[in-house]
Amino acid sequence: MKFIVSSSLLLKQLQVLSGVVNTNNTIPILDHFLFELDNKELTVTASDLETTTSAVLEIDSDNKGSIAIPARLLLETLKTFAEQPLTFTVEDNNTIEISSSSGKYALAYANAEEFPKAASLQDASKTVVLAEVLATAISKTIFAAGNDDLRPVMSGVFFQFTTEGLIFVATDAHKLVKYSRTDVKADQTAEFIMPKKPLNILKNILAVSDAEVTVEYNDSNAVFSFDNYTLTCRLIDGKYPNYEAVIPKENPNKLLINRTLFLNSVRRISIFSSKTTHQIRLKMAGTELNISAEDLDYSNKADERLTCDYQGDDLEIGFNSRFLSEMLTNLESDEISLEMSLPNRAGVLTPVDGLSDGETVTMLVMPVMLNS
């Protein structure tokens, strides 16, 4: 088995795939990349049993065969090369030799038969989504997904595909984000929960792609195929909470304000907030928004007045500054709307501009009890 490949092309693909490889695998074969050669095509695969990602490269060869090469050793070696063709040759003594313009390097390889096979989907449904749409949906929601092992369903992003549009939801019980598109539709209704790890890998690859992504899914697995990549992952098992029930429908108090102005103020004031609660206080009356915070333990306090467009009754409400600034950072609009009803009900945060047709973003931020 022998092939010639560009060092920078191989490194670029392996760096993408390396996101799948765990640092502390209990099964040694998972520390390897699987190389499968079929004449001019080389398929490289990485897996952690839950998620499997493959990339197909065009190379120079007329051989067939498969081996598993240690991931870390190969990556560290490739990073040191300037762009050049590298020749990989499998030797009889269970090593693979890499020949460069300046030297030769031998790595012990493992048996390809030991490498886990990606799950094959039975009775799969299929939807085609533009890479840009999927990348935006992931980046707009993933930050709101939880990290609680006791509630695994909330540690992923909920995909809801219908004939009317696509909805993506993430929540950790403190904040909730719902991103929906009515300009992209599925052939049939389907729901599944995607784990965070494969979504982060997808997000990184999709950011530089303008391809169409074919999404196939059944009750237990999903497969994303586009360009020269295929990502297969196990879905999170369980029923997602009824997110619609927690989004307040009647919100008579509405604040319109410049997003950057509001975000900078929240960040500044939060420096003076309690290090345990991160509580900031929003007080709205007329055209004035007062933002304040106090850390009684250290006698630190701050308050600011901002001009805003506010319609509704005078209202005082507390929020966790970290959650609020995280949400404001993830919006890209110039102006935002914050709709509220009562100090103990969630605020609904939406962008006023910057969205394309058929695109909506709704963010829910839970209030915190104010210290009187």
What CATH number is given to the structural domain containing 224? 3.10.150.10
119 falls within a domain:
no
Q: Contact, 324 vs 268, CB < 8 A?
A: no
Question: What pLDDT is stored for residue 372 in this prediction?
Answer: 60
Q: Which residues of the chain have pLDDT under 50?
A: none
- Domain span at residue 209 reads 125-244
Same-domain check for residues 169 and 240: yes
Which H or E run contains 127?
A: strand 125-130
340 falls within a domain:
yes
Which H or E run contains 7?
A: helix 7-17
Q: Contact, 48 vs 228, CB < 8 A?
A: no
Same-domain check for residues 158 and 268: no
Same-domain check for residues 278 and 363: yes
List Cβ neighbours of 106 (8 Å cut-off, separation of 6 or more). 91, 95, 96, 97, 98
Q: What is the DSSP letter of 121?
A: P
Q: Contact, 265 vs 306, CB < 8 A?
A: yes
Between β-strands 347-351 and 335-340, what pairing exists: parallel, antiparallel or unpaired?
Answer: antiparallel
174 falls within a domain:
yes
Tell the residue number behind the tokens 């840009």, with chain if given. 132
155 vs 146: CA distance, rounded Å: 4
What total of structural domains would you count in the chain?
A: 3
Same-domain check for residues 360 and 283: yes
Q: Which of 300, 256, 258 is nearest to 279 (CA)?
A: 300
Same-domain check for residues 131 and 234: yes
Question: What pLDDT is stored for residue 6 in this prediction?
Answer: 96
pTM of this structure: 0.92
Which H or E run contains 260?
A: helix 259-270
7 vs 46: CA distance, rounded Å: 18
Question: What pLDDT is stored for residue 186 in this prediction?
Answer: 86
Task: Please give the sequence-ordered ranges of beta strands (E in DSSP) within 133-189, or none if there are none.
Answer: 156-161, 166-171, 175-181
Same-domain check for residues 25 and 71: yes
End-of-domain residue from the set 222, 244, 266: 244
35 falls within a domain:
yes
82 vs 40: CA distance, rounded Å: 23
Question: What pLDDT is stored for residue 238 in this prediction?
Answer: 94
120 falls within a domain:
no
Cβ neighbours, 10 Å, residue 213:
23
Same-domain check for residues 104 and 142: no
Both structure tokens of 161: 């595909």
Same-domain check for residues 31 and 14: yes
Question: What pLDDT is stored for residue 188 in this prediction?
Answer: 84
Both structure tokens of 284: 């709205």
Same-domain check for residues 264 and 280: yes
List Cβ neighbours of 108 (8 Å cut-off, separation of 6 or more). 70, 94, 95
End-of-domain residue from the set 114, 146, 162: 114
Q: What is the DSSP letter of 122?
A: S
Please report which residue ranges of 273-357 form alpha helices under DSSP H: 321-329
